[in-house]
Amino acid sequence: MPTQSDIIWIGNDHGGYDLKNEFVRYLTEHEYAVHDIGCAGTEIVRYPKYAIQLAEAVSSGRIRRGILICSTGIGMSIVANRFKGVRASLCTSTYLARMTREHNDSNLLCMGGRVTGVFEALDILETWLHTAYQGGRHDISLNLIRELDGGITIPEAADLQNICERSV
């Protein structure tokens, strides 16, 4: 029985609707618990609405990981990465999916429904789901990202440069 945090949330706008359906079918067939918060058709909607809901759930720790799909994946990733603790990755290849799990401990997969074909997209999904974070030296970079979680102002940028130089 999956815990609440194991449930994979998936969100989409009109441009991600068709690929979302393919993903829900795949995830259900592979016995993942899925919670679909996306729009239910191709009528024009606003992608930030879905990205905000899903990124908030990851950021608050209610869920461990989620998937967002719009036409390009770009808008969803821009919105999601504003949330503390969210590491949203726009992936267009299995290489990117593997690397972003191994190095960035990505917790949100973004995809472009009008960019990536269904079979490639399913391979990307599978790779992202099954690849573990490598930890080790990558923790240094993730900790630097955590320093940015409160947002950045211009005077703080110089301090951040110092932190980066110290973190080797």
| Interface with ligand RB5 (CB under 6 A) | 13, 15, 47, 70-72, 74-75
CB 53 within 8 A of CB 27: no
- The 3 state secondary structure assigned to 38-91 is CCCCCCCCCHHHHHHHHHHHHHCCCCCCEEEEECCCHHHHHHHCCCCCCCEEEC
Q: Catalytic residue at 14?
A: no
Nearer to ligand RB5, 66 or 105 (CB): 66
Catalytic residue (choose from 39, 70, 91, 110): 70
Nearer to ligand RB5, 59 or 77 (CB): 77
Find the shortest distance in angstroms from Cβ 75 to ligand RB5: 3
Find the shortest distance in angstroms from Cβ 77 to ligand RB5: 8
Output 139-146 pairs: Cβ under 8 A, ≥24 positions apart: 140/167, 140/168, 141/103, 141/104, 142/87, 142/104, 142/105, 143/167, 145/87, 146/85
Nearer to ligand RB5, 71 or 127 (CB): 71
Q: Catalytic residue at 91?
A: no
Find the shortest distance in angstroms from Cβ 101 to ligand RB5: 23
Residue nearest to ligand RB5 (CB): 75
Q: Among all residues, which ones are annotated catalytic?
A: 70, 103
